[in-house]
Amino acid sequence: MTSDITLDEEGGSGRAPRGTGRRLHGAIAHKLGAAIVSGEYQPGDRLESEIAFSETLNVSRSAYREAVQVLTAKGLVESRPKAGTRVLPRNRWNLLDPDVLAWSFSGEADMEFIRNLFELRAIVEPAAARLAAERRDRADLKAMKAALGAMRQHSLATEAGRTADRDFHTAILQATRNDALITLSASIGAAVNWTTQFKQRSRALPRNPIPDHVRVYDAIALGDADAASEAMRQLVALALEDTRSSMA
């Protein structure tokens, strides 16, 4: 028997069996992962047995098991012989894993969690800007300047505009020369931009983001660490305010 289940997520035109480039076990992991982070399965809950669950999904046991391995790798579940597969308590989850973040935002957004992410961002990003001001070289500044120019041309409502925004922040991170910091900030930034995209949809954002970004750039270019940190602090604070107002 061949798989006859759609397993499509992000509800929409459910025509294709699954998006191209997406493997079956990946789709299962996404489906289960989203169900867990959304609270559909509670910590401590036991999943059906492998045989039963894979039959329910109309997939082979191998495909299902590979999906569970992914969830296990991200700390969402734990499997033991005879005991079955159980959802782990939330403090075991790798909340900052890019996939887990994506799953968290694939359903309804948990405002409390978003606040926590912004709080973390407000801690990390200003510090990153500070390091960037101390360590940037000519190539870093060039990249930032180019991204800034692109941001001026395209609105944040367009895909090109959001890409430019991402590029600007990425350039700052690269200048910190700290891989751990880069990984962390990139994950948080991506997740937060989920909400930005959402925010734009409610089209109540006339504020021009360029001046905030220019202040950050100028401080980094001057090598003024304190000013860079402060400018970034403001930028994050304003972003949180925008997000908050667009959701209230």
Residues at the interface with DNA (CB under 7 A): 1-3, 20-21, 23-25, 47, 49-51, 58-63, 65-66, 68, 79-85
Judge whether 225 and 233 are in contact, CB under 8 Å. Answer: no
Q: Which does 245 bind (CB under 5 to 8 A by kind): DNA, a second copy, none?
A: none
Q: Which is nearer to a second copy, 146 or 184 (CB)?
A: 184
Q: Which is nearer to DNA, 79 or 246 (CB)?
A: 79
Q: Which does 97 bind (CB under 5 to 8 A by kind): a second copy, DNA, none?
A: a second copy
Residue 31 contacts a second copy per CB under 8 A? no
DSSP secondary structure string, 142-160? HHHHHHHHHHHHS-TTSHH
| Distance in angstroms (rounded) separating the CA atoms of residues 13 and 15 | 6
- Listed in sequence order, the DSSP H helices in the chain are 24-37, 50-57, 61-73, 98-106, 111-135, 138-153, 159-176, 179-201, 210-222, 225-247
Query: Which single residue is written with the structure tokens 């991204």?
Result: 147
Q: How far apart are CB 211 and DNA at their closest, in Å?
A: 42
Q: How far apart are CB 83 and DNA at their closest, in Å?
A: 4
| Distance in angstroms (rounded) separating the CA atoms of residues 144 and 170 | 9
Residue 234 contacts a second copy per CB under 8 A? no
Judge whether 148 and 168 are in contact, CB under 8 Å. Answer: yes
Segment 187 to 226, residues that bind a second copy, using CB under 8 A: 188
> Which of 28, 70, 147, 225 is in the footprint of a second copy by CB under 8 A?
70
What does the radius of gyration of the chain's CA atoms come to, in whole angstroms?
Answer: 21
Closest CA to 29 of 61, 87, 72, 82: 72
> Which of 102, 150, 182, 205 is in the footprint of a second copy by CB under 8 A?
182
Residue 246 contacts a second copy per CB under 8 A? no
Binding segment toward a second copy, per CB under 8 A, in 137-145, 146-154, 180-188, 240-248 = 180-188
Q: Which does 2 bind (CB under 5 to 8 A by kind): DNA, a second copy, none?
A: DNA
| Distance in angstroms (rounded) separating the CA atoms of residues 160 and 168 | 12
Q: Which is nearer to DNA, 41 or 113 (CB)?
A: 41
Judge whether 161 and 154 are in contact, CB under 8 Å. Answer: yes
Residue type (1 letter), 154? H
Segment 100 to 159, residues that bind a second copy, using CB under 8 A: 113, 116-117, 119-120, 123-124, 127, 131
Judge whether 29 and 70 are in contact, CB under 8 Å. Answer: yes
Interface residues with a second copy (CB under 8 A) are: 25, 29, 62, 65-66, 69-70, 72-75, 90-91, 93-99, 113, 116-117, 119-120, 123-124, 127, 131, 178-184, 188
